[in-house]
Structure 1
Amino acid sequence: MSVNDKELEDFMPALELNWTDGAVERMKNVPFFVRKSVVRGIEQFAKDMGIEEVDDAVVSRARQEREGAAIAKARAEKTQTSTDNGENKEVKRQYVNFAFYKLDPAFRRLPKEEREEAKREFTDFLEEWDANSKMILLSYSMVGIRSDCDIMLWRISYELEEFQRMTTRMLLTKLGSYLNVTLSYLSMTKRSMYQDMFNPEHEEDRTHIIPGKAKYLFIYPFVKSREWYLLTQFTRQGIMDEHIFVGNKFPSVKLNTTYSFGIDDQEFVVAFETDYPQDFVDLVMELRETEGSRYVVEDTPIFTCVAMSLEDAINSLGI
């Protein structure tokens, strides 16, 4: 027998305590696929408090208690320290930048000798910077894939100013003066506030990114609706459980989520690494069917990038 939308909307799991009509009605505002876990959590709270009947007040107190615990946990993780030589140090978070460049066609009209010299100067600069700076620098080509950018530099550093120093130095090179920045996304690493219940041993320490282990990289900015943030943490975790479940079906795709709140226009920048683009296509299609997709405001433009050495990325410009 099929289940229609009305039955799903009215679905309530078996109750172990007495519930008032008002409390039951409030549960209908919770997505049906997480309603059972929400009800169980509220009833457990009531039992712990010696309460025999669940009414509106109990529902509110239970959810406030859960929210408070989640906030306390997030704060504890934020201030988590590691011991080094007997001294406590805060866990450092990384700055992340995805910079997209388009070559000015005027460069191709320069004499061959000038172009060759400019390429050598630019390649030497990038390789020297990569070898001697504290920055992680990865290069990608989008030549023949997108019309608005040719190459992308993925830069990761513990110092925001490092991006500025490198860019200033790059603009002083001849080839650098012909590269137009078409887009630049700035973000930071941060621990995820959602737990992976399907793979508890999966470490989600997003304070430190180790990138560059796959041939292809897919990047896009991400913004969620205000309605998403008005949901309780309990409800959001339930919705994310479905999202995480789908993601775990594609182990060949590694997700790097970074956070842009307050430092750039988007809320997140997501970067997926894989050797199998077809897996990423299937992953995105399945994610479209999840409850969480209702709350997506922006997830474009999407950039398909091919990993290359610094020299090969420059050579891909065909100059």
Structure 2
Amino acid sequence: MTTLVPSVTTQPAEAPAPTVRQYIRYLFYKARPSWRQLSPDKRAEARSELLTILEPFAKQLAVLRAFSTLGTRADADFVLWMVSERLEDFQELQAAVLSSTMGAHLDTVYSYLAMTRRSQYIDRHVHAEQEGRRTRVKPTGRKYLFVYPMVKKRPWYRLSLEERQRAMDEHIRVGHEFPRVKINTSYSFGLDDQEFVVAFETDYPSDFLDLVERLRGGEASAYTERETPIFTCVAGSIDEILGLLG
């Protein structure tokens, strides 16, 4: 006698939802001499037009913040810090800026593109709002922002994970000595010319200066190929930042 065994269909396990990551862009502008040759009324009208253009992007993007570099850099006047889950948002914003009256008098002098990613080095270092665990950017609203691109030397990537972890443990411990400075590390591998873009938020520039000096002596720093240009940026509303251009 033959016993029939009903077939069992195995349902494939559902794949875990992918971690939501964000794109980050730092876009630096400088006003051309032609901007200040316009009459005050024409400049005011152009600033108002650009503010109106940027208003919907402030709602559309996860982050849209403005900072002035007037007086801290000779080659840039202001920066827009943008965060979004859509790369196309950056394209649309830049197209809108360049099509405006004021945009015709602005040069894009620097642009850095990156993404969020969970750091592989932070599991031994746990504290509230741990940088490196987050894949979403949460600005603090502090007054000063220090931004720079970074490239590591290729021998860094040939070290074992254990060797790199040891160097980064030291690096992270030093960072914890400066709690008034918040770091935002983003990753650019294959997206842009640099490998990382690092942004530090603080109300105390002296803390940032002391932090950077301390980090220079660390093991991880010896594997840094480049971490310039460095931008010292002062926060303000978009209206205030554009107003500084006259």
Q: Which residue of 1 aligns with 2:46?
A: 118
> How far has the Cα of 1:196 moved from its partner?
5.0
Q: Does 1:142 align with 2:69?
A: yes
> How far has the Cα of 1:178 moved from its partner?
0.9
Q: Which residue of 2 aligns with 1:228?
A: 156
Larger RCO, structures 1/2 (Cα 8 Å, 6+ apart) = 2
Asked if the contact 2:122–2:133 (Cα under 8 Å) also holds between the matched residues in 1, the reply is: no
The equivalences for 1:159-308 within 5 A come to 159-195=86-122, 197-199=124-126, 203=130, 204-308=132-236
> How far has the Cα of 1:199 moved from its partner?
3.8
Distance in 1 of aligned mates of 2:42 and 2:128: 55
- Report the CA distance shift for 1:172/1:241 in structure 2 as closer, same or farther (over 3 A): same
Distance in 1 of aligned mates of 2:16 and 2:134: 20
Deviations 1:155-193 (A, max 9, x none): 000011110011111111100111100000000000001
> How far has the Cα of 1:198 moved from its partner?
4.6
Distance in 2 of aligned mates of 1:303 and 1:137: 18
Distance in 2 of aligned mates of 1:223 and 1:206: 22
Q: Give the SS at the match of 1:90.
A: coil
Can you give the 5+ residue segments of structure 1 that lack an aligned partner in the other structure?
1-85
Distance in 1 of aligned mates of 2:167 and 2:104: 47
* AA aligned opposite 1:229: Y
Q: Which residue of 2 aligns with 1:108?
A: 36
Q: Give the SS at the match of 2:17.
A: strand
Can you give the 5+ residue segments of structure 2 that lack an aligned partner in the other structure?
1-13
Asked if the contact 1:196–1:244 (Cα under 8 Å) also holds between the matched residues in 2, the reply is: no
Q: Which residue of 1 aligns with 2:82?
A: 155
Asked if the contact 1:135–1:162 (Cα under 8 Å) also holds between the matched residues in 2, the reply is: no
TM-score (norm 2): 0.90
Asked if the contact 2:144–2:203 (Cα under 8 Å) also holds between the matched residues in 1, the reply is: yes
TM-score (norm 1): 0.70
Distance in 2 of aligned mates of 1:104 and 1:176: 10
